[in-house]
Amino acid sequence: MSENCNNDCSSCSADCESRKPVDFRAHLNEHSSVKKLIGVLSGKGGVGKSMVTSLLAAASARAGQKTAILDADITGPSIPRIFGLKEKAYGVKEGILPVKTKTGIDVMSLNLLVDHDTDPVVWRGPVIAGTVKQFWTEVVWEDEDVMFIDMPPGTGDVTLTVFQSLPLDGIVIVSTPQELVGMIVEKAVRMAELMNIPALALVENMSYMQCPSCSEKIYPFGKSRLGELASKYGIPLTAAIPIDADLRSACDEGRIEDYAGTCLMELAVALLEE
């Protein structure tokens, strides 16, 4: 700071420390390597964000990619249940080791650290945000081709922490067909724009049902708005997930890797090539 500083940066051209942008990025564990980092985000809860994260990870692993999931939804961590994980994470000299799913996906979630997965997390925002950063800096993510981050709903503390602290390559936004969701999608897109993070894809969950007799698509929540929203907000990739009893059972029973549906396979491959 100059001796003659009047604290009015708008009229000053001096290159002092106080004018330099603050770097909030957290450093990856020295024993880790993550080539691509994709956040999965929804502007509201209950749209299937964790399911989409799990399907994308399973599809990426099926495509031969070393895959990881960082569960940043600290107060509502459902990733371990979806994959049927019972083992707990533990620490070694190099850091905390993630738990592997049966197909080799590395997972870190708060529910892999607490005694009981139904124990509530009664923490304030800064502690929750700090935990997410620790999952990045203290976990040993070994040679990951792609990591998906399951974000909490909304555009609050944790989402901001992820956007500022982690080197995201882009986000996938999850929506449903209801009219109101258009506004929610815009909130997520606008936040990403403010943080200079590209919105790579829009996934519409519960998009349609398929008649078991004639295979006709039925739209119980109204006609899909997927193409309309993607075009409006300039999102290049899209995918639609049907209402599927087999998918629901796979999630509830921890068998997501056994689900035979391929609704997100094409999207997962496209994200890997981005």
> d(Cα 120, Cα 75) in Å, to the nearest integer?
7
Please check whether residue 207 is in contact with residue 242, taking contact to mean a CB–CB distance below 8 angstroms.
yes
Please check whether residue 112 is in contact with residue 89, taking contact to mean a CB–CB distance below 8 angstroms.
yes
Q: For residue 144, what is the DSSP state?
A: B
Percent of the chain topping pLDDT 70:
91
Q: For residue 45, what is the DSSP state?
A: S
Q: In sequence order, which ranges of 15-146 are alpha helices (DSSP H)?
A: 49-62, 79-83, 125-137
> d(Cα 46, Cα 161) in Å, to the nearest integer?
22
CA-closest candidate to residue 34, choices 9, 2, 69, 1: 69
204: amino acid identity, one letter: E
* CATH of 26-273 among 2.60.40.1180, 3.40.50.300, 3.40.50.261, 3.40.50.1220: 3.40.50.300
List, edge to edge, every strand of the sheet that includes 199-204. 99-100, 106-108, 67-71, 146-150, 37-41, 170-175, 199-204, 237-240
Please check whether residue 38 is in contact with residue 149, taking contact to mean a CB–CB distance below 8 angstroms.
yes
pLDDT for 117? 79
CA-closest candidate to residue 106, choices 52, 161, 148: 148
- 3-class DSSP state of 96: strand
Give residue-wise pLDDT tens across range 27-72: 898 899 999 999 999 888 888 999 999 999 999 999 999 999 999 9
Binning pLDDT at 50, 70 and 90, where does residue 155 land?
confident
pLDDT for 223? 83
Higher pLDDT, 141 or 17: 141
Q: Which two tokens stand for residue 237?
A: 């990739």
Which residue in this structure is represented by tokens 């935990």? Answer: 131
Task: Indicate the range of 15-24, 122-131, 145-154, 263-272 predicted with least confidence.
Answer: 15-24
Task: Indicate the range of 64-78, 129-143, 217-231 predicted with least confidence.
Answer: 217-231
Residues paired with residue 99 on neighbouring β-strands, in sequence order: 107
Pairing state between β 217-218 and 209-210: antiparallel
Average pLDDT rounded to a whole number, residues 233-238: 94
